[in-house]
A and B are shown apart, each in its own frame.
Chain A
Amino acid sequence: MMKNMKLDRVTLPERMFDICNYIFMGVIVTIMLYPFLNVLAISLNDSTDTVRGGIYAWPREFTLNNYAVIMQYDTLITGFMNSVLRTVIGTVLGLIACSMVAYTLSRQDFQAKKFVSIAIVLTMFFSGGLIPTYMLMRDLELINTFAVYIFPLLISAWNVIIIRSFMDNLPVALQESAKIDGANDFTIYWKIILPICKPVLATIALFIAVMQWNMWFDTYIYNSTNESLTTLQYELMKILESTSTSAGAGMDSVRGTADQTNRVSPESVRMAITIVTMVPILIVYPFLQKYFVKGMTLGAVK
C-alpha cells in the first residue's frame, strides 16, 4: 500500500465520490439512530408535556418519572421476569443441545453422522405450519406452560451448522491425546472442545438470546390467557396495539386483549417501556460484534 502513495493523488471525481459517500453514510446513520433517540427523548420527557408535541432528539422537561410509573405495572414486572428467565434458560439449554449435536456431527468416525445430519438439515426446509404446530402443542399439553417457551426452540439447524463448521476446523491432535489418555467422548466434548469453541458459542448465545428475548408470538398464541406467563414483548405489543387501534381503527377480533390500564398509558410511558425492552440486548451486541460477524459468514459459506 505504501509504495502506491503517489498513485493516491486524489483526482476531483474521486474526491467527489468520497464526499458523496460520506454524506450517504451520514444520512444512513441518522435514519438508523434517530428513531431510537426520539423514543429515548420522549421516554425521558414529562408525560403531560409530551402531549404538546415537538419532542425530537432530546427531552424538553427532563424526568425519570415515566420509568417510575412502569415499575408499578404488575404485569410488566411479571413479563420482565419471564422474559429474563426464558432468555437465560433457553440460551443455556439451547447452547448445550446445539453444541452437543454439533460435536457428534464433527466426528468423522461417528456411525450415525449422516442420519443425524439429514434429520437436522431437513428441518430448515420443512415446517408443519402454524395450525398443526398449535395442535401439537395442545396435544403435548404445553399450552399455558412455561415449557412452551423452551422446548420447541431448543435446537436450531442453523445454529448446529455454524457450531459444527467451527469444530470442523479445530486441530485433531487436541482430541487424539485425550482419547489416548482414556477420556470418553463426553469428557472430550465437555472438557476440551467446549472451552476452545468460546468464540462461536458466544455468537450462538447471542443469536438464541436475541430470539428468546424478542419472541412475543408464542405468548400471544399459547399463553395469552395466563397472566403469570406473560412476557415483556407481549405486554409491549398489547400496549402499542391498543393505542394504535384505538387511534383510528377499532379492535381486531383476535387481538382484543388489551386491558384498561394499558389503554390509558401516555405516550411517554409507552416509550419508556419500549426502551426497557430494547436496552438489555443493545448493551450486549456491540461487544460480540466481531464474533457474530464471523459466525454469520461461516454459516453462509457452508
Chain B
Amino acid sequence: MEIGKKKAQPNLWVPDNKKNFWKTMKNQKILYLMSIPFVVWIFVFNYLPVWGWTMAFQDFRPGRSITEQEWVGFKHFITLFQDPHFYLVLRNTLVMSLMLLIVGFTIPIIFAVSLNELKDSLFKRSVQTISYLPHFVSWVVVAGIVTKMLSTDGGIINDLLVSLNIIESPIQFMAQGHWFWVILTGADIWKEMGWNSIIFLAAMAGVDPQLYEAARVDGANRWRRIWHITLPGIRPTIMVILILSIGNMISIGFERQLLLGNSLVREYSEVLELYALNYGIGMGNYSYGTALGIFNSMVSIILLLLANGFFKRMSNTSVM
C-alpha cells in the first residue's frame, strides 16, 4: 500500500506507537528481548566504570567499601599538576600523538594515490593484499619484529646502513631514547598504512572517470590529474577521517609504548595511560591513576569538539 515509501527505508510495519505505547511494546516484546539485555550489558561494562571516576576524588583504599572511602576533593589533581613527571609524560603523549597524526594520516593517502595510479590490476591487487598483512598481526609480534630488524646483531637496518657506509658501527636503536618516537611512528605506519588506505581507495573508486578523460583531453598530466581531480574527489573522506583522528589523537593507547619501550628509554616512551598503569595499578595508587585517566579523557573530548567545530565552520563537514 505504500509503494512510494519503499525506496527510502525499510519502513515495513507502519509504526502504530502513536496509538498505544503499551500495546506496541507488547507487540514488540521480542524485539525488546533481543536488545534490552545487551543494553544492560553495555551499561555494566561500559558505563559503570565511569562511576569509578569518583575514585579520583577520594583516597581510595581497595579494602574499604564505597561509603567508607575518604573524600579529598581535588587533592589528586593538584598533586598531578605539581608532579614534574606528569609534564614529561604529557610531553611524550602530545609529541607521539602529533607524529602519529601527521604521518599516520598523510602516508596512507599518498599510498592510496600511488596505488590508484597503477593500471595492472593483478599487481595492484597483490600490493593491496600484502599491504594489509601487518594489520592482522598483533602488536606483540610487531614489537618483536621491530626489535629484530633494528637489533645490532643481524638486524637488517643496521646491516644495510653499515654496508652502505652511512654509519660506521651499528646503532643501538632500541636503547636510545631519542630514537623511540621515530621507531614508534615507523612501526605504526608499517602496520597500519595499507589498512588505513582502504577508505581512501574506496573513495577514489567513486570519482567519476569522465573527469579524468576530460582532463586528459585538455592536456593535464598525471600530477595535475591527481592534484585537481583525485584529491578534491576524496576531500569529504579526508575531512571525516581527519576529524576522527584528531579526536582520537591523545587516546593513542599505551600498548605500543608498553611493548616497544623498555626502562632505558622510559623518559621518552612513557605516555599518560602507561603512567597511570605503572603508577596506578602497579603501585596501588588507584586514585592518582584515575585522575590521570580523567585528564586524558577530558583532553581527548576537548580535542574532538574543537576539531569538529573548526571543520564544521570551515567546510560543513561534521562527524557528530
Contacts and interface: CB of A to CB of B under 8 A. Distances in A.
B221 A53 contact: no
A203 B66 CA distance: 43
B47 interface: yes
Interface string A148-169: 0001101100000000000010
Contacts of B222: 13-14, 17
B264 interface: yes
B199 A300 contact: yes
Interface stretch (A23-31, A61-69, A70-78, A258-266): A23-31
Contact of A100 (B35, B137, B273): B35
A123 B49 CA distance: 12
A289 interface: yes
Given A17-B223, A104-B31, 20 more contacts: A14-B222, A21-B114, A25-B127, A29-B126, A29-B130, A128-B48, A129-B49, A131-B286, A154-B45, A186-B34, A213-B138, A215-B138, A233-B138, A236-B144, A237-B259, A248-B172, A285-B132, A289-B128, A296-B199, A300-B199
Q: Chain A: interface residue count, which band?
A: 35 or more
Contacts of B255: 217
Interface centre among A38, A130, A271, A274 (most CB of B within 10 A): A130
Q: Which 6 A-B pairs have the closest CB atoms?
A: A128-B49, A132-B52, A129-B293, A214-B138, A132-B49, A172-B10
A109 B286 contact: no
Contact of A289 (B132, B137, B223, B277): B132
A32 interface: yes
A134 B36 CA distance: 25
Interface in B136-175: 136-141, 143-145, 147-149, 153-154, 156, 172, 174-175
A101 interface: yes
Interface of A: 4, 7, 13-14, 17-18, 21-22, 24-25, 28-29, 31-36, 38-39, 53-56, 97, 100-101, 103-112, 115-116, 119-120, 123, 125-136, 140, 151-152, 154-155, 168, 170-172, 175-176, 179, 184-186, 189, 210, 213-217, 221, 233, 236-237, 240-241, 244-245, 248-254, 270-271, 274, 277-278, 281-282, 285-286, 289, 293, 296-297, 300
A39 B148 contact: yes
20 contacts: A21-B117, A28-B127, A33-B133, A107-B10, A107-B31, A108-B15, A119-B43, A123-B47, A126-B46, A129-B296, A130-B273, A130-B276, A131-B276, A132-B52, A135-B49, A136-B52, A237-B259, A240-B143, A245-B263, A253-B278
Contact of A233 (B44, B140, B264): B140
A115 B36 CA distance: 10
Contacts of B33: 186
Contacts of A127: 46, 49, 297
